[in-house]
Amino acid sequence: MRLLILGGTIFLGRHLVEAALALGHQVTVFNRGRHYPSAFPEVERLQGDRWGDLEVLQGRSWDAVVDTSGHVPRVVEKSARRLAGAVGHYTFISSVFAYKGFPKNPGLDENSPLNLAADPSAEHVTPETLGPLKALCERALYGEIPGRSLIIRAGFIFGPYDPTDRSGYWVHRIAQGGEVLAPGDPNRQLQIVDVRDLAEWILTCIDNRRTGVYNATGPSYPSTLTLGRLLQACQTEEGSDARSTWVSDDFLRAAGIRPGIDLPFWMPGGVAGVNCNKAISAGLTFRSIENTVRETLAWYNVRQSSAPLRAGITVDRETQLLRTWHNESMPATTSK
């Protein structure tokens, strides 16, 4: 298969390239050339800026394209229009945040209403506009390539080369040991998908020419995974002496801690539960959380040590919060 990837150098795009090469596919990546320029020397690289420069794609054709980097409706519409006659199949990576009820409404499936409350002309993506803009991107894609499009509404993606550092924060922090501030309820359901499982499954879907919408996260809903289980897996795999002190949602909110940013995967008031049975029936599988943690830590350990984490709180901030929590004599739950 001749595969074009819009992006292809960081996180999901990078793993898609790796998995596609392992299967013997011919891969072309189109991006600005800013990240990992020496990775995958056997891959054809087309350089350009999809926000306004698609000329390098002119006169070319591929069996399929995966759009890993589309966030703005105008940009996705323009890319889809240019590629409509050049590809047989178009996969767009959307997000479960596109749902109107996410993360508060449990069990959302592919037919649940989308959040379209965003300006279609918006060019700036924020945590608040990410979901609505993804929903509008989907609509733009369907308008250009009807009947040949696959929409993957991904959940939290975990694994090596995570540019958001949501994955790196917890494996790094547990490895450091000591008392760890853990947010909310250790039994709160959590859904994440290993980036390698997601990449391999997407390629299978393309091979089978699947179309339509799929929620791609895991495990199944209701989830058997919890944040407490994730932190325990980090501790076990790393042989850490970390002790998790579970601090209440109300305390963290009052302290100004930002859900999902200052403490990754903390979603107060939400269940982060979507129904992904359709994807599971279509072959999506999940490796063990222990494997995901182990491989993510291995990547983090060779990551540039001078680069600060983009997610999570600093050690000083964590120490301050824990001191305040204990001084206020609030009931804490500490687990080893």
**How many distinct helices (H) and strands (E) make up the chain?**
10, 12
Tens of pLDDT, residue by residue over 170-214, are 999 999 999 999 999 999 989 999 999 999 999 999 999 999 999
Assess whether pLDDT exceeds 90 at residue 37. no
Assess whether pLDDT exceeds 60 at residue 334. no
Packing angle between helix 12-22 and helix 195-207, nearest 10 degrees?
A: 60
User: Residue 331 — very low, low, confident or very high, per pLDDT cuts 50/70/90?
Assistant: low
Structural domain spans, the chain:
2-154, 166-190+226-270+289-335
User: Residue 111 — very low, low, confident or very high, per pLDDT cuts 50/70/90?
Assistant: very high
Task: Say if residues 326 and 252 touch (Cβ distance below 8 Å).
Answer: no
User: Residue 308 — very low, low, confident or very high, per pLDDT cuts 50/70/90?
Assistant: confident
Classify 227 as helix, strand or coil: helix
Beta bridge partners of 182: 246
Assess whether pLDDT exceeds 80 at residue 265. yes
Tens of pLDDT, residue by residue over 272-288, are 689 999 999 999 999 99
What is the predicted pLDDT for the residue at 304?
A: 58
Cα-based torsion angle of the residue sequence 291, 40, 13, 189 in order, rounded to the nearest 10 degrees: 10
Task: Determine which helix (DSSP H) or strand (DSSP E) holds 28, and give its type and residue range.
Answer: strand 26-31
Q: How far apart are CA 124 and CA 122, in angstroms?
A: 6
One-character DSSP codes across 278-293: HHHHTT-----HHHHH
- The pTM for the full model equals 0.94
Packing angle between helix 227-238 and helix 289-302, nearest 10 degrees?
A: 60
CATH superfamily of 2-154: NAD(P)-binding Rossmann-like Domain (3.40.50.720)
Assess whether pLDDT exceeds 90 at residue 233. yes
